Amino acid sequence: MAARPDWDSAIIAAIGGGALMIYVSHARASAIEAERALRHGSTTDALERTLARLVLSSDQLDLVLLDREGRVLSVSKSALEKMGYDDGLVGKAFADYVPLPPDAWRDAFARTLQGEHVRHAEQEVQLPSGRHYYAWETRPWRDDDGEVCGVFVAGRDITSLVEARTAAAANQDRLLMALETGNAAVWEVDYKLRVINWHGDANPLFGGAFTFDQFDKNTTQFIHEDDREPLARYFVAIAEGAGGSIEHRVIRADGEVTWAESTARRVLGRSGGVRKLIVLSKDITERKRQEFAFIGAMHRAEEALKAKRALFGEAAFAEALDEAQVNVGEMHERLEALIAEMDARDVVLAETLVELRAAREAADSANVSKSQFLTSMSHELRTPLNAIIGYSEILREEAEADGRDTDIADIDRVLTAARQLLHLINEILDLSKIEAGRMDIAAAEFGIASLVKEAAATVRPAIEKNGNVLSLDVAPDVGSGVSDAFKLNQCLLNLLSNAAKFTRNGEIALRARRETGAAGDWIEISVQDSGIGMTEEQVAKLFNAFVQADVMTARRYGGTGLGLVITRRMMQLLGGEVVVSSAPGKGSVFTLRFPAVLAGQSAPARVDAHAAEGQGRARVVLLIDDEESARDLTARALSRLGFSVHTAITGEEGIALARALRPSLILLDINLPDVSGWDVLTVLSTGDAGDIPVIIHSVDDDRQRALASGAAEHLVKPADRDVLAAAVLRFALASKIPEPVAQPAISPHAKSA
């Protein structure tokens, strides 16, 4: 028989097997979950690393990670570029490289190590690229246990935001200033927020601001009752798309009534409804008062006309002795006749104005033609004269060196004739410039005594040639003056030359005095001669252009009659005058009287070209001129000073040489064959040769345009040789000098070029 089954063992085995299966299943599930968590963690770490790389390579944020000692652990690419470092800063002390203010950085670093989060919303920072504004912060970097193990620094360049904010503030200030100046205000009616935003002060205009509800319900207190409904209709029309402005009265708290003009525009929202009304209101009280005054004057004129009509009616009544016989129609006929006469006069006046306008245009055209003619003749005459004078001086120097006295005398005659012709041309041009209002004043401080002595030394040979004796009497306290010494010297030379010309075997006295008064100091320089003298009739026409004392005088002594005219007009330009006293056979006294101080620019300097030989120190000078003789003479003069001279004939060639040679100085003529010298000056001033000084040396005498266009100096051909030398030595770039240049000797006797 079969044995009895062991149910207890079976049950235990079944329970044990089930538990084992459950354990195995649970273990498998745990392994799967752990594997899934591991894969998720790896993915998260990879994403975080990717995010970190993207952040560190971003050009929007500047990031730095530091340890507790302040050494760099990691730094973003943007931070390296901003600080100007190509290589990494890892392992280096950030405090040695940080561009932030030192005190602010040390404070932030120390506080962050204590666990504090430090923020700086805006701070000025000096970077290699210039001044910038940064918003930066420091955060504590903690380990897994929560301990601070370093500092995380983040910064963002907000320069554009700061500049935009500054510009907006400046625009706001300008707007407020403009509104205040115009006694106006701008106000915005915001229908969405139900507020009114004010720009400018509403008190001077309305006596105070008002609210949205007051505007919406039309209950503002300052609006005149008669204008309340028109204003409401105006704003309704603006909301519907109309334009224009409206004038309305404003009642002040003290009862005064003023006027304002309001101009409104609507601003639509996204839905097409009215979002805002923008209103510009300005005070027009003064304008309205003027309008009312004009209207009142019109009413008074009407009343006056009525009164005159009534008066005329009374006269007619008195004559007719019957009121019924007053002829009102006759009064209207006379009034219409008066109006017709006024209309006729208006027609004549209009025709006269047309004729005057045509005459003025013809005069202007003639003046332009005259200026063009004088400019053309100046160029055509001065160019050969420049060559004649220049080469004559060279020939004279060679004759002096060879001892050829006969040739020297002949050359002197040529020089004298050429200089007289040049003097005549200059006088005509000076007179033309004075009449056209183009004569420039160049004032500077100068010694009165030096001016007088230099003029005397210049004219002394001509004075002694006629057997005259020149005496000087300069007051010890004559001092200095501030005026145009060049023009004063020209005026004084004219007076001395006239005294020498009209005096034979006599005496000429030159005196200088200074007068001190409440209106300032004045200088008086007088020239007294014992010559032929003049009658009162001759003195009366003395200052007329191209007119001398009489025909016999003109034939005997020569001259154009322009010297005294130019002298008088130049003295008027300098704020002074010319005083004349004379008697026939007893001589004349001409006195220049002018203020001691006259603001202006410096007068032309001059040096002795002989004493300044070698001062050029081999510096390079570029000469741009199409006239062969002018180039040759100027090149010789500058070479004698020690300069290395290069020449160009056209403007294009000159610009190319200027860029290639980089000379110390450029001498530029205006009349060039290919382009105008003004165009060459513009190219030189704005290009890579803009640091090279340019001297205009031309017959074109527009000094103001030359200096305004960037020229360092303006000399009119043919320039005085010593003046040219002084200008070149003054403006040639010092950086091109191999050794210091000695001060050139000053010469009181200039030689003409």
Pair (624, 729) in one structural domain: yes
39 located within any domain: no
Pair (250, 150) in one structural domain: no
Angle subtended at Cα 752 by Cα 747 and Cα 753, rounded to the nearest 5 degrees: 120
**Residue 428: which pLDDT band, with cuts at 50, 70 and 90?**
low
Pair (115, 187) in one structural domain: no
Residue 99 backbone phi and psi in degrees, to 5: -85, 0
- The secondary structure of residue 734, as a DSSP letter, is G
Pair (175, 268) in one structural domain: yes
Pair (464, 358) in one structural domain: no
**Residue 624: which pLDDT band, with cuts at 50, 70 and 90?**
very high
Residues 6+ apart with CB under 8 A from 158: 122, 133, 134, 135
Q: Do 316 and 327 form a contact (C-beta atoms < 8 A)?
A: yes
656 located within any domain: yes
- Which pLDDT value is given to residue 753? 30
Q: Point out the least confidently predicted range of 140-154, 305-319, 410-424.
A: 305-319
Q: Point out which residues pair with 218 in neighbouring strands.
A: none
**Of 53 and 596, which is predicted with more confidence?**
596
Pair (450, 569) in one structural domain: yes
Q: What is the CATH number of the domain that holds 661?
A: 3.40.50.2300
**Is 599 strand, coil or helix?**
coil
Q: Look at residues 228, 250, 283 and tell me which one is the last residue of a structural domain.
A: 283
373 located within any domain: yes
Query: 60-69, 171-180, 448-457 — which one is most confidently predicted on average?
Result: 448-457
- Percent of the chain residues topping a pLDDT of 70: 71
User: Is the pLDDT at 7 greater than 70, yes or no?
Assistant: no
User: Is the pLDDT at 266 greater than 80, yes or no?
Assistant: yes
Number of domain units in the chain: 5
Mean pLDDT of 411-440: 66
Pair (87, 209) in one structural domain: no
- Which pLDDT value is given to residue 264? 93
Alpha-helix runs per DSSP H in 608-650: 628-640
**Of 429 and 572, which is predicted with more confidence?**
572
Question: pLDDT digit string (tens) for 476-503?
Answer: 988 888 887 777 888 888 888 888 888 8
- For residue 178, the enclosing domain spans 170-283
Pair (452, 430) in one structural domain: no
Q: What is the CATH number of the domain that holds 553?
A: 3.30.565.10
Question: pLDDT digit string (tens) for 489-548?
Answer: 888 888 888 888 888 889 999 999 998 877 788 989 999 998 888 887 787 767 665 455
Q: pTM here?
A: 0.34
What is the Cα–Cα distance from 68 to 493, expressed in whole angstroms?
Answer: 88
Q: Is 176 left (phi over 0), alpha (psi -120 to 50) or beta?
A: alpha
Pair (147, 181) in one structural domain: no
304 located within any domain: no
Q: Do 278 and 182 form a contact (C-beta atoms < 8 A)?
A: no
**Is 144 strand, coil or helix?**
coil
Mean pLDDT of the chain: 76
- Which pLDDT value is given to residue 440? 62
Q: Point out the least confidently predicted range of 225-229, 317-321, 428-432, 551-555.
A: 317-321
> Terminus-to-terminus CA distance in the chain, angstroms?
161
Pair (586, 465) in one structural domain: yes
Q: Look at residues 580, 595, 610 and tell me which one is the last residue of a structural domain.
A: 595
- Which pLDDT value is given to residue 257? 87
**Residue 554: which pLDDT band, with cuts at 50, 70 and 90?**
very low
Question: pLDDT digit string (tens) for 656-710?
Answer: 898 888 898 999 998 888 888 898 888 888 877 778 899 998 877 677 788 888 8
Question: pLDDT digit string (tens) for 199-242?
Answer: 888 888 888 888 899 888 888 888 888 888 998 899 999 999 99
- The secondary structure of residue 382, as a DSSP letter, is H
- Which pLDDT value is given to residue 555? 45
698 located within any domain: yes
- Percent of the chain residues topping a pLDDT of 90: 8
Structure tokens at 368: 């332009």
Question: pLDDT digit string (tens) for 30-45?
Answer: 767 766 666 655 554 4
362 located within any domain: yes
Pair (461, 580) in one structural domain: yes
681 located within any domain: yes
Q: Do 590 and 526 form a contact (C-beta atoms < 8 A)?
A: yes
- Which pLDDT value is given to residue 521? 87
Angle subtended at Cα 523 by Cα 521 and Cα 528, rounded to the nearest 5 degrees: 155
**Of 599 and 259, which is predicted with more confidence?**
259
150 located within any domain: yes
Angle subtended at Cα 673 by Cα 668 and Cα 674, rounded to the nearest 5 degrees: 95
**Residue 646: which pLDDT band, with cuts at 50, 70 and 90?**
very high
Q: What is the CATH number of the domain that holds 136?
A: 3.30.450.20
Q: Look at residues 104, 122, 157 and tell me which one is the last residue of a structural domain.
A: 157
Pair (473, 336) in one structural domain: no
Q: Is 267 left (phi over 0), alpha (psi -120 to 50) or beta?
A: beta
